């Protein structure tokens, strides 16, 4: 007589390990993040369910979907049971979530405070590993005309040409501009060069009767506003 450690079949898994059935029975709102991700990958490895596998994945990024959205295939490949197909499925789903958030924001066309700026640019900049510099072009009523990427740089910084910034404002007949860039380090405190650029753009814009409304530094979960701090000319 002997015993085995044979794993249960999928039909013997607990309800929480069968998220599709749970969703049909109780609705999608009751599913946890791990259960939703488990549906995406379809099945785990031979030793654990998809839900258990995704619980371990989430644990590795502090159960934060924003952090998971920054993962590359290399991160997913550390987990047995997640190959290229499953990794790219999860990455595609997270990207769709980001794009959906951006489309919902399009209706907020008027900029009334720094939070409005953060909501527009957080989906664009929060996952980046390098700095990007953008401008937001506004009309007389502080409504958005366009958002334009000026430059892309490295981890420590990116170069923004004052002349190019003002050129974009003139071409699109903007009467107001907002400067935006991200700090991949997670520290929103402006550098000396950030302050110098803000001053240079403000002075140049004034000569053209264009107002610099703000300069916002975006991090994941927080931001720094020059206007809120009273640091604009």
Give tens-digit pLDDT for 65-78.
888 988 988 899 89
From the CA atom positions of the chain, what is the Rg in Å? Answer: 23
Residue 3 makes CB contacts below 8 A (sequence gap 6+) with none
At residue 86, what are phi and psi to the nearest 5 degrees? Answer: -70, -40
Task: Give the pLDDT of residue 200.
Answer: 96
Q: What's the pLDDT score for residue 20?
A: 84
Residues found in the chain: 233
Specify the pLDDT at position 148: 95
Inter-residue contact 147 to 187 (CB < 8 Å): no
Q: Which two tokens stand for residue 209?
A: 């009767």
What is the distance between the alpha carbons of residues 90 and 71, in angstroms, rounded to a whole number? 10
pLDDT category of residue 13 using cuts at 50, 70 and 90: very low
161-188: average pLDDT: 95
Confidence of residue 25 (pLDDT cuts 50, 70, 90): confident
User: Where does the pLDDT of residue 233 fall: very low under 50, low under 70, confident under 90, or very high at 90 and above?
Assistant: confident
Fold for 108-225, please state it. Cytidine Deaminase; domain 2 (3.40.140)
Comparing 60 with 13, which gets the higher pLDDT? 60
Q: Would you state the structure tokens that stand for residue 176, as one six-digit string?
A: 């107001």
The reported pLDDT for the residue numbered 11 is: 47
Distances (CA, A) of 141 to 137, 138, 226: 11, 8, 20
Question: What single-letter DSSP state applies at residue 28?
Answer: G
Q: Tell me the C-alpha distance between 155 and 188, whole Å.
A: 14
pTM (2 d.p.): 0.61
Proportion of the chain in helix, strand, coil states, percent, rounded to 5: 45, 15, 40
pLDDT at residue 45 greater than cutoff 60: no
Q: What is the mean pLDDT of residues 108-127?
A: 90
DSSP reduced 3-state for 32:
coil
Which residues make Cβ contacts (< 8 Å) with residue 81, sequence separation at least 6?
Answer: 41, 44, 45, 48, 53
Residue scoring higher pLDDT (136 or 10)? 136
Residue 99 has pLDDT above 90, yes or no: no
Q: What is the mean pLDDT of the segment spanning 128-139? A: 94
- Number of alpha carbons in the 13 Å side-chain half-sphere of residue 141: 5
């Amino acid at each position: 007589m002997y015993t085995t450690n044979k794993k249960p079949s999928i039909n013997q898994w607990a309800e929480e390990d069968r998220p599709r059935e749970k969703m049909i029975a109780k609705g999608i709102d009751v599913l946890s993040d791990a259960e939703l991700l488990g549906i995406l990958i379809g099945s785990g490895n031979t030793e654990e369910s998809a839900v258990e596998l995704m619980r371990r994945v989430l644990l590795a990024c502090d159960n934060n979907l924003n952090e998971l959205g920054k993962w590359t295939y290399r991160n997913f490949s550390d987990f047995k049971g997640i190959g290229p197909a499953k990794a790219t499925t999860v990455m595609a789903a997270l990207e769709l979530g980001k794009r959906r958030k951006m489309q919902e924001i399009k209706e907020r066309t008027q900029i009334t405070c720094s939070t409005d700026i953060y909501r527009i640019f957080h989906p664009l900049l929060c996952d980046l590993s390098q700095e990007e510099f953008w401008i937001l072009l506004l009309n007389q009523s502080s409504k958005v005309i366009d958002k334009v990427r000026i430059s892309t740089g490295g981890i420590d910084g990116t170069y923004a040409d004052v002349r190019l910034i003002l050129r974009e404002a003139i071409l699109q007949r903007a009467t107001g501009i907002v400067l935006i860039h991200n700090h991949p380090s997670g520290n929103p405190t402006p550098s000396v060069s950030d302050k110098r650029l803000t001053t240079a753009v403000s002075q140049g814009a004034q000569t053209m009767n264009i107002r610099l409304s703000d300069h916002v530094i975006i991090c994941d979960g927080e931001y720094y506003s020059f206007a809120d701090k009273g640091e604009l000319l």
